[in-house]
Amino acid sequence: MRSNVLITGHTRGLGEALANLYKSTHNIIGVSTSEIDFLTFSKTPKFYLNNIYDYVIINARSKKHQWADLMNINCVNQVRFALDIKNNINKALVFITSRAGNFTRTYRGFKGPDGSRMFPGTNQIDYSMSKAALTYAAVCISRHVSYPVIAIDPGNFANQSNPERDTKPVDIAIPIKKLLDKSDLKKYSGRLVRYTGEFLVW
């Protein structure tokens, strides 16, 4: 009998690429807006509570919403959902986060195209806050479960906002799956990790 992999935001982008990789070995239980709308989420349906999962990948995100709505979709309600099913997970809980929420990068800045030091702007501070909070949730939950809980930074890849990028979602999904297949996955628990497996300073 095949095990389950649950992926939020599985109908496009990175979520879809991950679903395509896992579907040959696992049953894919996808969560899209038609199943659970994380903007208006109030209670986890019994269907999700009654299943057991090898992996749960919290991936859904929004850039169309702002402030409280964006925080609810990207972080708060997906974390509530993950907490509801945390006792149903066998191998790992994964939060797809972003370097946009990286405290060290925000404080120290980063090297710009011309070599000068740059700092994240304030025009998407709500999005960055949602991803920082998601990473925090991963670290916190990791201290209370027996399996690995990992925050993964997928980097930049082609999506609806930036379809012209050379890196495609599958180029990110393949190394994420390889990372999750590692026998020493536990060492990544409670850490912010690049999709290639490199530890990142949070």
**One CATH from 3.40.50.720, 3.40.50.150, 1.10.3720.10, 2.40.50.1020 for 4-194:** 3.40.50.720
Q: What SS3 state is found at 161? A: coil
**pLDDT tens digits, one per residue of 68-85:** 999 999 999 999 999 999
Residue 63: what pLDDT?
Answer: 81
- Amino acid at the residue 99: R
pTM value? 0.96
Answer yes or no: is pLDDT of 161 > 80: no
How far apart are the C-alpha atoms of 150 and 172, rounded to whole Å? Answer: 16
CA distances from 14 to 42, 65, 112, 129, 191 (A): 26, 19, 26, 21, 20
Nearest to residue 154, comparing CAs of 107, 109, 94? 94
Note whether 90 and 3 are within 8 A (CB).
yes
How far apart are the C-alpha atoms of 92 and 108, rounded to whole Å? Answer: 31
Mean pLDDT is lowest, of 31-35, 65-69, 157-161, for 157-161
CA distances from 35 to 10, 109, 159 (A): 11, 39, 22
Note whether 99 and 153 are within 8 A (CB).
yes
pLDDT range class, residue 202, cuts 50, 70, 90: confident
Note whether 19 and 7 are within 8 A (CB).
yes
